[in-house]
Amino acid sequence: MRRRNVFLFFVLPFLGVFVLFSLASFLGQAALKSRTEALVRGQLAATAAILRVTVSHLLDEGTPPDETLDSTLSGEDIYFMALLDAEKNVLAWNSRYEGYLPLSLREARPGQSGIIDSPAGKIFSELSTVTTKDGRRFHLYLGYALSGMEEMIALSRRTAFLLSGLILFAGALFFRGLFQLQSRFMAKAREAEAERLEKERFREISAFTSGVAHEIKNPLNSLALLIELLLQKAPPETRGNLELGKSQVLTIARIVDRFSSAVKPVRPVANALDLEDVLRLAARSFAAEDPESSTRLCVESEPGIRLTGDGDLLVQALLNLLKNAAEASSSTPVLVEGLRKKKKVEIWVRDKGPGIPPQAITRVFEPFYTTKEKGMGIGLFLAKKIVEAHGGTIEARSREGEGTEFRIELPGA
């Protein structure tokens, strides 16, 4: 799935849900605030009705306004109380905030509630009329603190922000994992496509090489037989040229055989092997083919490492790596190391040559790719085929001027 599709099918719906959640939370807070204000208005109206009766009774008995308010102010929610005359002049007042009366007569209308800002926060206020038995008119001005409602709304807002943050955090983690999974999937898809193209290319090369080898080998056999006959009857002065021709024919035959072996499928015969024996046989084969370079070969291995595989094929793969390392480092040592890593077996082949350029290191295992003037690009390719046929992996690492190392990892016994 492409990143654009992931964005369309996952990210946009998530953002839409988050926006809807935020909108629902905002509307819920607004509804909660409106409903709470309605409840406060109702409670304030009921409190005002009770207090009007009490204040009227006390005034009828001749109680001074100050004493009237002192005896009636009670309850934590009643923030202030004021007694006004008919012209709305303040006769007496009492407030929980000492020395401060949040009076707003401009907005005060009898029978209507309003909201006043004060040091204690927002306060609902209500102005109501009190009439005594002798016909005197007064106004009772009450204030109801909204600190509880504001704390509740603030808590609701903090909870909504916390939930929003958690949702965004969870969404970020989810989409990070999703994009990583999608990136891995795309990488695997690219690898699979590259492998498919490589196999298709290899099949084409195999078919072409097999045809060419078949067409070349028959004339070569005839030519080799003809040279043998000529050698039997040739005068001494021409035998040197005929021997040279015979060696060239054999060289061509070996090249054709190497191409043929490279394109044939590898089918290892599984046997119980000791890693030390495999490395020792590879060193002997290398010494037989290149006695001079074998003096620079150093082989080390942990004892008792067992593995399952085809000994001849593994020796052939290691021989190809040793030849490559010896050619790369003409005078420095070539180190071969075998070791155990958990349930795996590792083989390292290191040289101190000039190294492989970065643009070439990724292609060293490709068939018929080489940076050498006389190379054919078959040895490393064949080594990779053998290792992979054993269920293992091989990789090359190199730094220019510091040498090259090949790492083989095989399943243990």
Tell me the pLDDT tens digit for each residue of 354-398. 888 888 888 888 877 777 766 667 788 888 989 998 999 999 998
Query: Same structural domain for residues 186 and 237?
Result: yes
Strand 334-341 and strand 297-301: pairing? Answer: parallel
* Structure tokens, 92: 């007496």
Of the residues 246, 262, 278, the one at which a domain ends: 262
Predicted local distance difference test score (pLDDT) of residue 395? 93
Residue 170 lies in a domain: no
pLDDT, position 90: 83
CA atoms of 48 and 278, how far apart (whole Å): 103
Distance CA 47, CA 42 (A): 9
Number of domains making up the chain: 3
Residues 140 and 23 in one domain: yes
**Is position 159 within any domain?**
no
Higher pLDDT, 14 or 311: 311
- What does the pLDDT read at residue 410? 92
Segment 293-306 mean pLDDT: 88
Of 297, 300, 306, whose CA–CA distance to 340 is shortest? 306
Which H/E stretch holds residue 383?
Answer: helix 379-389
Q: What is the pLDDT of residue 262?
A: 60
CA 259 to chain centre: 43
DSSP of 266-278: P-PPPEEEEHHHH
- Please say which residue of 262, 292, 318 terminates a domain: 262
Residue 168: the pLDDT is 77
pLDDT at 75 over 60: no
Contact 289, 323 (CB under 8 A): yes
Please state, in angstroms and rounded to a whole number, the distance separating the CA atoms of residues 262 and 377: 10
Residues 247 and 361 in one domain: no
Please, which residues have CB within 8 angstroms of residue 388's CB and are 6 or more apart in sequence? 394
At 113, is the secondary structure helix, strand, or coil? strand
Confirm if 248 and 256 have CB atoms less than 8 A apart. Answer: no
Name which residue leads in pLDDT, 351 or 122: 351
Q: Are residues 203 and 303 in the same domain?
A: no
Q: Are residues 275 and 407 in the same domain?
A: yes
- Regarding whether 297 and 279 lie in a shared domain, the answer is yes
Q: Specify the higher pLDDT residue, 363 or 119.
A: 363
In a domain, 173, yes or no: no
Q: At a CB cut-off of 8 Å and minimum separation 6, what does 17 contact?
A: none
Nearest in space to 335 (alpha carbons), one of 302, 301, 298: 298
pTM of the model: 0.49
With CA atoms as reference, report the closest residue to 148 among 98, 50, 79.
79
Q: Say if residues 80 and 101 touch (Cβ distance below 8 Å).
A: yes
Choosing from 262, 297, 312, the residue where a domain stops is: 262
In a domain, 368, yes or no: yes
Task: Please write the tens of the pLDDT for every residue from 180-232.
Answer: 777 788 888 888 887 788 777 767 666 666 666 667 777 777 887 888 888 78
Q: What is the mean pLDDT of residues 72-101?
A: 73
- Do 271 and 258 fall into the same domain? no
Tell me, what's the pLDDT at 261?
Answer: 64
> How far apart, in whole angstroms, are the C-alpha atoms of residue 279 and residue 299?
7
Residue 169 lies in a domain: no
Residue 358 is encoded by which pair of tokens?
Answer: 């970065």
> Is the domain of 246 the same as that of 280?
no
- Estimate the share of the chain in helix, then strand, then coil, as percent rounded to the nearest 5: 55, 20, 25
CATH of the domain at 375: 3.30.565.10
In a domain, 168, yes or no: no
Q: Are residues 273 and 381 in the same domain?
A: yes
- The DSSP line for 163-205 is HHHHHHHHHHHHHHHHHHHHHHHHHHHHHHHHHHHHHHHHHHH
In this structure, are 392 and 296 located in the same domain? yes
Angle formed by the axes of helices 65-72 and 12-60, to 10°? 130
Residue 140 phi/psi, 5° resolution? -105, 120
CATH at residue 96: 3.30.450
Q: Is the pLDDT of residue 348 over 90?
A: yes
Contacts of residue 3, defined as CB under 8 A and 6 or more positions apart, other chains included, come to 179, 182
What is the pLDDT confidence band of residue 177, given thresholds at 50, 70 and 90?
A: confident
Regarding whether 276 and 204 lie in a shared domain, the answer is no
Predicted pLDDT at 240: 81
231 falls within a domain: yes
How do beta strands 334-341 and 393-399 pair?
Answer: unpaired
Q: Domain of residue 201: give its range.
A: 178-262
Asked if the structure places residue 154 within a domain, the reply is no
Are 382 and 367 spatial neighbours (Cβ–Cβ below 8 Å)? Answer: no
DSSP assignment, residue 30? Answer: H
Are 222 and 100 part of one and the same domain? no
